[in-house]
Amino acid sequence: MTTIGDNLYSVSTRLQQACERAGRAASDVRLLAVSKTFDADAVRQAWQAGQQAFGENYVQEGVAKIEALRSAGDCPGLQWHCIGPLQSNKTRAVAEHFDWVHSVDRLKIAERLSAQRPPQLPPLQVCLQVNVDGGANKSGVAPDELPALAQAVAGLPGLRLRGLMCIPEPAPDFEAQRAVFLQARALFDDLRARGMALDTLSMGMSDDLEAAVSAGSTLVRVGRAIFGHRERKPGPADAVTTAAG
């Protein structure tokens, strides 16, 4: 049976090869291991194989793992990213426990995170989720509303705006995948041209990370290719999302 460590090595090799094909340095793209529905021991195994950044879609599940691993004290240096849709009643838990949040798409959510971030913690690192391909049932700010939201979020205390995140609909081949990711890259470049100091473009998952890297992704969110297929669905307390695969 393939171990989590073996899977991490395989994904890292894919990333390195994708960077080489795109003419980019391997250090340009970070790997976020998405551990949703997997337990703290799976995170521990990945950490032992050298992985430090982990993504969680479901806030309550993520907080439980964060607290368990911090209490155990045997995995120093873990970095936690909230990547799922964020409801108002979950912002305090995210502000108090996570290092990053990728799924801000409304000013109200950003304002709550700003107000609830404990002052003794460093700023919460924020990506704005953009609905780049216009899916009617998907989270994310519309592209034409993105500049105003980015400007407002960038001015909030306790937060640091780092970039954009997108979750496009599945596309049939590399070129189709890349075309959608290039739309997100164009929005990212536009914000930078407006003077915003952004450095993170969170896009690409298990099935399309090569296309995302080719289009300029700086962080790919990979779950299934590292941890395997998920055996359970989240409970009703947490919103369902497809922020990683």
User: What pLDDT score does 25 carry?
Assistant: 97
Residues with Cβ within 8 Å of 27's Cβ and at least 6 positions away in sequence, in order, are none
User: What pLDDT score does 244 carry?
Assistant: 60
CATH number 3.20.20.10 given to 4-227:
yes
Domain extents for the chain? 4-227
User: What pLDDT score does 237 carry?
Assistant: 43
CB atoms within 10 A of CB 133: 18
User: What pLDDT score does 201 carry?
Assistant: 98
Cα 245 from Cα 242, distance rounded (Å): 7
User: What pLDDT score does 240 carry?
Assistant: 36
User: What pLDDT score does 239 carry?
Assistant: 43
Q: Which residues of the chain have pLDDT under 70?
A: 1-2, 136-137, 231-244
User: What pLDDT score does 242 carry?
Assistant: 46
CB atoms within 10 A of CB 194: 11
User: What pLDDT score does 238 carry?
Assistant: 46
User: What pLDDT score does 231 carry?
Assistant: 64
Cα 88 from Cα 116, distance rounded (Å): 11
